[in-house]
Amino acid sequence: MTRMSEETIENKRKRLIFRSWHRGTREMDLIMGSFADQNIPQMAEGDLALYDDILQHPDPDLYNWITGKEDVPANYANTVLDQLIAHRPHEILQGGNAE
């Protein structure tokens, strides 16, 4: 039973990383993908669920929240989104544009 749970969590991690790198816009691919690569492998199951919920939001809303152009609505605020916002998206985008 434990082995199956670990495989299920590992599959979820792989799915979330894939979805993070395939958002639809280059900017969001870079922001979400780099965050996922750095954080998802260590996330607990509860945080994985929160991140999965974050990925359900449209890119324009997420981009505006992450870059500080709009405040995060209180009902969407959580610790994982706070980590994502602290992930320094401007530095990621500057590095991504230099390629």
Mean per-residue pLDDT over the chain, rounded = 88
pLDDT 10s digits, 8-44: 899 999 999 999 999 999 999 999 999 999 999 999 9
Q: What is the pLDDT of residue 99?
A: 37
- Architecture of the 2-97 domain: Orthogonal Bundle (1.10)
In the numeric block, the tokens 């082995």 are attached to 3
Q: What is the C-alpha R_g of the chain?
A: 14
| Sequence spans of domains, the chain | 2-97
**Three-class DSSP labels, 7-65:** HHHHHHHHHHHHHHHCCCCHHHHHHHHHHHHHHHHHCCHHHHHHHHHHCCCCHHHHHHH
Q: What is the pLDDT of residue 88?
A: 75
